[in-house]
A and B are shown apart, each in its own frame.
Chain A
Amino acid sequence: MELLIFYPIAALAVVLALFVVFNKSPIGSAVSLIGLMLCLAGVFIGLSAHFVAILQVIIYAGAIMVLFMFVIMLLNLKDDDNVIWKSREGNTLLTVLTGFLVLGILYKIISITLSADSSKPAKIMESFGTTAEVGKSLFTTYVLPFEVASILLLVAMVGALVLAKTKID
């Protein structure tokens, strides 16, 4: 039953991910990315992490992707037909090598995934993935990472302002 839901969503996610890469227009890529985020939220629900799924939709599909759209609109990006991507002279060998390396890694990942023992899935608590449970662990076990993350966000915010502010004093 769960696999019946999982496989279509996962397949759709892969297809959309390919669209993100191969789409010519930036808008198309962005729309595919939104779809991809929604599919990921679906996968999270399948893993009974409902709260994370909702956050995935609100934060990634909702907030961040709107900003993507915003940038696309402000820059008025059109299809990149005129841009021709060329690799630098002498980099062809390196590119080919890297390609083989990536293929090798992908092969390794697939073989690892296939060899993994999935016959006995881990047991999860009844309340797993609920908002209350996530909140509880955030404020007890993971209170330090939670607070340190706020410093990280502060730095990022200050940095964005410092680098993007039009006038400095």
Chain B
Amino acid sequence: MIDSVIDFLAPYTFLIVGAVKAVIIAIGLLSSVPLLVWLERRLMGRFQVRLGPNRVGPFGLGQPFADSLKLLFKESIVQNSADKFLFYLAPAVVVFTAIVTFSLIPFGKPFEIFDQKIGMWVANVNVGILFVFAISSMGIYGIVLAGLSSNNKYSLMGGLRSSAQMISYELTLGLAALGVIMITGSLNLQEIVDAQKTVPNILLQPLAFVLFYIAGVAETNRAPFDLPEAEQELVAGFHTEYSGMKFAMFFMGEYINMITMSALITLLFLGGWHSYIIPVPDLLFIGPLLVFSVKVFILLCILIWLRSTFPRIRYDRLMTFGWKILVPLAMLNLMVTSVFIVIF
């Protein structure tokens, strides 16, 4: 009986494995968002010499869950002047693109279990990194549509700013990543990690790393580049009119993007799941996954650290900085890299 079921399912194994992986990663990702929020609030508390949330549960761990529940049960207000369809579409686009982008991130070595070779990723696309850029550029539309459909001038300004900002910094992001792609000779994220077995790319491409990090912070709309939602000027920017779960979705999108960006930086520059100083045993998939997670965790902490350290940059300076400093530097990096590749 069981044998016949297995025989029947055998040709579809890849589908089953893929579906299971997708579900696990989606759930894991979504549930890590509240933890990340908690981490941010606790760390911010430390940075600002206060305690942060500590009343609900041990170390305030219950706080994010309380918040999520509250947001879930809040009334979802849609004002009359809004473009209904687009108003609902916008947060969906944000979360959708964020999760799809993460599905392209490999976070460990492939391992074998029950004669099945299982890769630690949802999708291993040949042009992986381009795909990541493509999907994440779709993510802009979530914010733009939110700004447009709200029919509110603060939202509109926020949407406008964010689209300009993301277009400008996407360029730097791509150009900085090109340096890594050139020395690896592949667009496949897994191959890029494999190429860093001995030396992580951060040592070969230090400038690209810095540029990528800065552009990555700007792409995820994090402080000091959080102009689309600058509270002092724009109330809450593009999500001024959103409330309840739809507001929470924007939040989720932003935090998933933080994780994705940190993971991408880990893959491109920090050697992914390779550990360099301390040898870590494989243990099926736990070792590499642990190394990868630690690296991502450190990067996330740095993101939060940046937020509490730097004041928000002025809008015109943001543009000048992006176009007149980062892009030329990225091109310079590209040229130097190509000269080195030709010579060696």
- A–B touch (CB < 8 A): the answer is yes
Residues of chain A whose beta carbon lies under 8 Å from any beta carbon of chain B: 25, 27-28, 31, 34, 38, 50-51, 54, 57-58, 61-63, 65-67, 69-70, 72-74, 76, 130-131
In Å, the complex CA distance between A97 and B264 comes to: 57
Q: Report whether A54 and B167 are in contact in the complex, using a CB–CB cutoff of 8 Å.
A: no
Q: How far is the CA of A27 from the CA of B127 in the complex (A)?
A: 31
Q: Helix, strand, loop or mixed for chain A's interface?
A: helix
In the complex, the number of residue pairs spanning A and B with C-beta atoms less than 8 Å apart equals 71
Cα separation A167 to B223 with both chains bound (whole Å): 35
Q: Which of A63, A73, A131 contacts B144 (CB 8 A)?
A: A73
Q: A27-B86, A62-B138 are in contact. Are A69 and B163 (CB under 8 A)?
A: yes
Contact of A62 with B127 in the complex, beta carbons under 8 Å: no
A27 adjacent to B140 (CB under 8 Å): no
Q: Nearest Cβ in chain B — how far from A60, in angstroms?
A: 11
12 interchain pairs, CB-CB under 8 A: A51-B127, A54-B131, A54-B134, A62-B140, A66-B137, A66-B163, A70-B163, A73-B144, A73-B159, A73-B160, A76-B156, A130-B126
Closest to B166 in A: A66
A72-B148 in contact (CB<8A) = yes
Main secondary structure of the interface of B (DSSP, over half): helix
Task: Flag whether B83 is at the interface (Cβ < 8 A).
Answer: yes
Say if the beta carbon of B329 comes within 8 Å of chain A.
Answer: no
* Nearest Cβ on chain A to B80's Cβ, whole angstroms: 15
Distance, CA A131 to CA B147, complexed state (A): 36
Mark B153-192 against chain A: 1 for CB-CB distance below 8 A, else 0: 0001001100110110010000000000000000100000
- In the complex, what residues of B have CB within 8 A of residue A31's CB? 86, 89, 141, 145
Q: Which residues of A contact B83 (CB under 8 A)?
A: 25, 27
Q: Does B149 contact A (CB under 8 A)?
A: yes
Contact B127 A73 (CB under 8 A): no
Q: Is there a chain A Cβ closer than 8 Å to B318's Cβ? A: no
B137 engages A63 (CB within 8 Å): yes
A residues less than 8 Å from B141 (CB atoms): 31, 34, 65-66, 69
CB-based contact A66/B134 at 8 Å: no
Is B133 close to A, CB under 8 A? yes
A50 to B134 alpha-carbon distance, docked (Å):
12
A50 to B131, CA, bound (A): 10
Complex CA–CA separation, A38 to B138 (angstroms): 10
Of A25, A63, A74, the residue contacting B160 (CB under 8 A) is A74
CB under 8 Å from chain A, chain B span 76-110? 83, 86, 89
Within 8 A of A (CB), among B104-133: 126-127, 130-131, 133
Which residue from chain B places its CB closest to the CB of A66 in the assembled complex? B163
**A76 to chain B: closest residue by CB:** B156
Query: Which A residues touch B160, using CB under 8 A?
Result: 70, 73-74
Question: Are A27 and B149 neighbours in the complex by a CB distance under 8 Å?
Answer: yes
Give min CB distance, A67 to chain B, whole Å.
8
Cα A74 to Cα B163 with chains together (Å): 12
- Min CB gap A164→B, angstroms: 16
Query: Cβ of A63: which chain B residues have Cβ within 8 Å of it?
Result: 137, 167
A57 and B134 in contact (CB under 8 A), knowing A130-B126, A131-B187? Answer: yes
Residues of B within 8 A of A72 (CB): 148
Nearest residue, chain A, Cβ from B171: A63
Known: A27-B83, A27-B145, A28-B86. 11 other contacts (CB 8 A): A27-B86, A27-B149, A51-B127, A54-B134, A62-B138, A66-B137, A66-B140, A69-B141, A73-B160, A76-B156, A131-B127
Residues of B within 8 A of A62 (CB): 134, 137-138, 140, 170
Contact residues in B for A130 (Cβ distance below 8 Å)? 126-127
Contact of A73 with B148 in the complex, beta carbons under 8 Å: yes
Residue of A nearest to B153 (CB): A76
B156 near A73 with CB under 8 A, answer: yes
Q: How far is the CB of A51 from chain B (nearest CB, A)?
A: 6
Across-interface contacts of A73 in B (CB, < 8 A): 144, 147-148, 156, 159-160, 163
Known A27-B148, A130-B126, A131-B187; contact A58-B163, beta-carbon cutoff 8 A: no
Query: From residue A115, how far is it (CB to closest CB) to chain B in Å?
Result: 36
Asked whether, in the complex, the Cβ of A54 is within 8 Å of the Cβ of B127, the reply is yes
Contacts of A50 in B (CB 8 A): 126-127
Q: In whole angstroms, how far apart are the Cα atoms of A128 and B145 in the complex?
A: 37
How far is it, in angstroms, between the C-alpha of A152 and the C-alpha of B187 when the chains are bound? Answer: 28
CA distance A34 to B170 in the complex (A): 18
